[in-house]
Structure 1
Amino acid sequence: MMGNKKLRILLIIEQCNPEWTSVPLQGYYFYISIRNLFNTTLVTHERNKPALEKVHSDRDIVYIYESNFTKWYYKHAESLSKIKGKIIWPLYNTLTYPIYAEFNHLVYKKFKTSVLKRDYDIVHVVTPMMPRYPAKIIKACKNIPFIIGPVNGGVPYPKGFQEIARKEFAGFNFLRLIGRWLIPGYRETYEEADYILAGSTYTLNLIKSLFDVRDEHIELFYENGINDAFFSKDPKVDTEESIQINLLFVGRLVPYKGADILIDSIGQLRPQIQENISLIIVGNGSEKESLQQQVQNLDLKEKIHFPGWVNQQEILEYYHKSDIFCFPSVREFGGAVVIEAMANGLPCIVVDNGGIGEYVTEETGFKINPISREFVVQELRKRIEQLVEDRALHAAMSYEAVERAKEFTWDSKAEKISDIYLKLLSNSSE
C-alpha cells in the first residue's frame, strides 16, 4: 500500500465517531485508514471526544470546543426542526448551520498560522459530506494543497414520486438554494479548492454546474466503504435442493426508502414463487406501523417479518442467511447497505437514482428506472422471479457482487486517497 508517514496531513473531520452511524462513522473510518499511511492530525468536534478517547487516547487529535450557547442550541435544534414529530432534514440542516459555522471559524482561528507556516503538507476536509458547507481554513492554504470531500447530496426525487416527496417535506429544499448564495465562503471553498471528491455522478455534475471547477480538479469518489468483517467467510452454495429463498431489506422505514413498494411486489409474485420466499425488513422508522398493516392486508404475515433495528453482529447474520437484497429507495445519496449486501454475495435489486445506482452493475444485480411507483413494483417483481428461477444467473451475480464490494474496502479507498495526495504534492512542487 502506498503512503508516506513523513507527510503531515491535517484532517478536518467535524463528524468523526466510532460509536455512531452514517456520516460520523464514515468520517471515523476515513481517519483511521488515512492515518495508517500518513502522519495525521485529526481536528474534530468535542462531542466525539468520549468515543475517540476510548480507542485512541494516544493519538494526535485536536478537539474543538463550542460555546455554552451553542451547546444549548444544539440540544434544541432537533425539536425546532420537527413537524408532527418528524424531522424535516432540509430545515434541520439550515437550523444547525450556526453550530457548524462556529466550528469552522474556531478551526480557522486555531490552525491559520500553522497552515500558513506550512506545518502541514495537505489540508483535507472530509465532513460534513453535504456539498453546502464552506471551509474557512482554505483562506490559509496559500502554499499547500486543499482537498474537500467526498461530498454528496442534492439528488432530486424522481418526477413519478412527488407524493413521496411531499411526505418527506421536499418543499423545504429551497433552503439549499438560499444557503448556496448567502453562506460566506461557500463559493470560494469550491472554486479555490485544489481537489474535490464527489460522492456521486449527480453531485459531481452539480458542483461543476454551480462553480467554475475544471475537470482536473474534481473526480468521482464514493464516500461509502466497508470493513472486512462484512465479507462472508463462506461462499453461498446454490443447489436444486435449496428451495427457500430469503429476501432482505435493510434501512430506515421512511417513505422514500420504498419498503412499501417491496411489500407490494411480494404480494404480486406468482403463487409458486411466493410460496418459497420470505422477506426480512430490518429497520425502524415512522412508517413501520403502516407497513405492518400493509402486510396484514395482503395476507403476507407468514412471509414478511420485522425484527426492528439490530446491532452489527445481528445484521451480519441476516446478510449471511439471505439470498437476494431488495432496496427500492427512490432517492439515495450513498446506500452503504448495498455494498454490505454485495460483500455477502447478494445480488441487489435497486432503483437507479443516486449512489446505489452506481454501486450496482449489470453483473451484480438489477437497476430499475424510477418511472413510476407501479413500474418499480412490476420490475421488482420480475427481477425477484428471475433470480429465483435462474439459479445460474443468481450464482454468477453472487460471485461478481463480492468482487465488486472489494473495490470499496477502506484499504482500497485509502490507496486511492494516497495516490491523490501524492499527485497533488507533485503538481504543487512543479
Structure 2
Amino acid sequence: MRAGLDKGLKVLLIAEAANPEWVSVPLVGWSLARALREVADVHIVTQIRNRDAFLRAGLIEGRDFTAIDSEKIAAPLWRAAERLSMGKGVGWTIKTAVSTLGYGYFERLVWRAFGEDIRAGKYDLVHRITPLTPTANSRLAPLCRRAGVPFVLGPLNGGVPWPKGFDAERRREKEWLSYIRGIYKALPGRGAMLRDAAAIICGSLHTRGEIPARYQPKTVWLPENAIDPARFSLTAPQPGTLPLRGCFIGRLVPYKGADMAIEAALPLLRQGALVLDIIGDGPQADHLRELIAREGVGDAVTLHGWLEHAQVQAVAARAQLLVFPSVREFGGGVVLEAMALGVVPVIADYAGPGELVDDTTGFRVPMGSRAQLVAELRERLQAIAANPGVLPDMARAGQARVMRDFTWAAKAAQVERIWRAVIAEAPLPQELPVPPR
C-alpha cells in the first residue's frame, strides 16, 4: 500500500503531457504526478503517446493510469505545428498554440471516460497538471463544478514577455506569434475555466499577474520545477578561493545567453581567474566556437555539447558558479539543479530564475539591453572573483532551500495542502513566500 492511501483523498489527475523518458513539460507532468501518488489515491489520465513509458516505469494500466487516444486530432496538429514553426527547436509559441487546438478533443474523451464516475462522487477532486500553458482552456472545470467536485488547475506557466532590447533574438527564435499572444485571454472558455476552478496554481508571478483580479484569491504561486535528490548526489567544491570554475547549461540559442556569459567573463578568462564549461548544443554552437577562437580563450572555455544527465551532474559539480543569463526562462529548472549541487547561480533577474534566487542563495543581475546585461554580468563576476569567500555560505543556503522546498516530495506535500484547503473550502495556503524584488 502506498503511504498516502490511508489519508482518504481520491484524486483524478489529468496530465496530457507526462513522460518519464522525455524532458521539459512532459517530465514535469510525470514527476509531479508520480510524487502525488505518494500522498493520495491517484489515478493518472494521460495521452496515448505516453502509455509505453508509463508501463516501462511499472505503472499498471487501468489501475494506476488510463491512456486516452486523441491521436486522430493530436497527430496532424503536431505535424502542422512542426511545419509552421519553420525549424527544429524554434517557434515554440506556434507549436504550443497549434497543438493546444486539439486539447479540447482530449478533454472531451476524458469526460466520456470518467464523467460518470466524477458525477457519482467517486473522486474527491480533479486536478489538471498539464498542459502548463495558460492558453489551453479546460472544459472540465465547469463540468466538474456542476458535478459538485472541486477542480484544481495548474501549475500554469509560460508566455513571459520578451524583454526590451532582445527583438533580434526573438526573430531568430521565429517567435512571430508571440507578438499577438495576448489574444488568448479573449478565447472562448477561459472565463468559465477561471470562474469554475476551485484553485489555480501559478508557476510564475507573471502568470499569476495575468489572472483577473476577481480570481486572485484562489491563486497560489508555486514554481512547477523541482528536483529528485537521488539524481543529484554530488556537492560542488566551494573553497572560497581562486581560480573559479563556472558552467552554463542549456540549449545554445541566442536568448539563453551562452555567448553573453562568455563575453562577460572574458577579462577573468584571460587572467586565469575563471574557467567556463558550456554544456549543451544548438544552432549557436558554431558562433560560440568562432567567439572563443577570436577572443583567444580556447584554453579557458570548453564546449561539451549534449551530455547524459549523469555526465551533466559530474561536470556541473566541479563548478562554483552557474553563469546563466537567459533572458526568457519560464521555469528555470536548471537553476534549481545547480543549487542542489551546491553551485551558486548568477542569473538575469527576469522571469523564472529571478523568482527562484534571492540574495542569500545567488546573484541576480539587473535586466537591460544586451549590452547592459553583459556589462552588469561582467561587473558581477569580477566582484565575485574579488571576494570568492562569499560563495560557500551561499552554496549551502541554496542547497538547503532546494532540499526543503523544491524536491518532488516537497512539491507533492505543497499540492496536497492546497487540495485539503479546497475540499474544506478554507483559504488557500500560500506555500512559498513571494521573492522580494
Q: Normalising by structure 2, report the TM-score.
A: 0.90
Give the 3-state SS of the residue equivalent to 1:12 in structure 2.
strand
Give the 3-state SS of the residue equivalent to 1:427 in structure 2.
coil
Matching residue of 1:219: 220
Indicate conservation of the 8 Å contact 1:226/1:340, yes or no. yes
Deviations 1:116-166 (Å, cap 9, x if unpaired)? 111100100000001111112223213121100010112111112222223
Matches within 5 A, 1:179-190: 179-182=184-187, 184-190=188-194
Matching residue of 1:245: 244
Matching residue of 1:364: 361
Could you tell me how far apart the structure 2 residues matched to 1:3 and 1:393 are?
45
Could you tell me how far apart the structure 2 residues matched to 1:98 and 1:371 are?
35
Deviations 1:222-256 (Å, cap 9, x if unpaired)? 1001110344445634165xx43211000111111
Query: Which 4+ residue blocks in structure 1 deviate beyond 6 angstroms?
Result: none
Indicate conservation of the 8 Å contact 1:90/1:175, yes or no. no
Indicate conservation of the 8 Å contact 1:108/1:136, yes or no. no
The one-letter code sitting in structure 1 at the alignment partner of 2:400 is E
Matching residue of 2:136: 133
Give the 3-state SS of the residue equivalent to 1:147 in structure 2.
strand
Task: Name the CA shift for 1:201/1:85 in 2 (closer, same or farther; >3 Å).
Answer: closer
Could you tell me how far apart the structure 2 residues matched to 1:106 and 1:69 are?
12
Cα distance, 1:82 vs structure 2? 3.0
Gaps of 5+ in 1: none
**Which among 421, 424, 428 is matched to residue 423 of structure 1?**
421
Indicate the larger mover: 228-237 or 397-406: 228-237
Matching residue of 2:8: 6
Matching residue of 1:236: 237
Could you tell me how far apart the structure 2 residues matched to 1:303 and 1:251 are?
19
**Which among 46, 49, 59 is matched to residue 47 of structure 1?**
49
Cα distance, 1:105 vs structure 2? 1.6
Could you tell me how far apart the structure 2 residues matched to 1:230 and 1:111 are?
35
**Which among 81, 86, 89 is matched to residue 84 of structure 2?**
81
Matches within 5 A, 1:275-314: 275-314=272-311
Task: Name the CA shift for 1:239/1:262 in 2 (closer, same or farther; >3 Å).
Answer: closer
Matching residue of 1:388: 385
Cα distance, 1:181 vs structure 2? 2.1
Task: Name the CA shift for 1:326/1:67 in 2 (closer, same or farther; >3 Å).
Answer: closer
Could you tell me how far apart the structure 1 residues matched to 2:286 and 2:358 are?
33
The one-letter code sitting in structure 2 at the alignment partner of 1:180 is K
Matching residue of 1:194: 198
Indicate conservation of the 8 Å contact 1:8/1:119, yes or no. yes
Matching residue of 1:411: 409
Give the 3-state SS of the residue equivalent to 2:392 in structure 1.
helix
Indicate conservation of the 8 Å contact 1:324/1:347, yes or no. yes
Task: Name the CA shift for 1:174/1:15 in 2 (closer, same or farther; >3 Å).
Answer: same
Indicate conservation of the 8 Å contact 1:230/1:344, yes or no. no
Cα distance, 1:292 vs structure 2? 1.4
Indicate conservation of the 8 Å contact 2:251/2:282, yes or no. yes
Matching residue of 2:209: 205
Give the 3-state SS of the residue equivalent to 1:141 in structure 2.
helix
Give the 3-state SS of the residue equivalent to 1:40 in structure 2.
strand
- How many matched pairs? 419
Cα distance, 1:294 vs structure 2? 1.4
Could you tell me how far apart the structure 2 residues matched to 1:178 and 1:213 are?
19
Matching residue of 1:376: 373
Identity over aligned pairs, percent = 31
Cα distance, 1:187 vs structure 2? 2.1
Matches within 5 A, 1:147-162: 147-162=152-167
Could you tell me how far apart the structure 2 residues matched to 1:353 and 1:239 are?
27
The one-letter code sitting in structure 2 at the alignment partner of 1:100 is Y
Give the 3-state SS of the residue equivalent to 2:211 in structure 1.
helix
Gaps of 5+ in 2: 427-437
Indicate conservation of the 8 Å contact 1:81/1:89, yes or no. no
Q: Normalising by structure 1, report the TM-score.
A: 0.92
Task: Name the CA shift for 1:381/1:72 in 2 (closer, same or farther; >3 Å).
Answer: same
Indicate conservation of the 8 Å contact 1:15/1:128, yes or no. yes
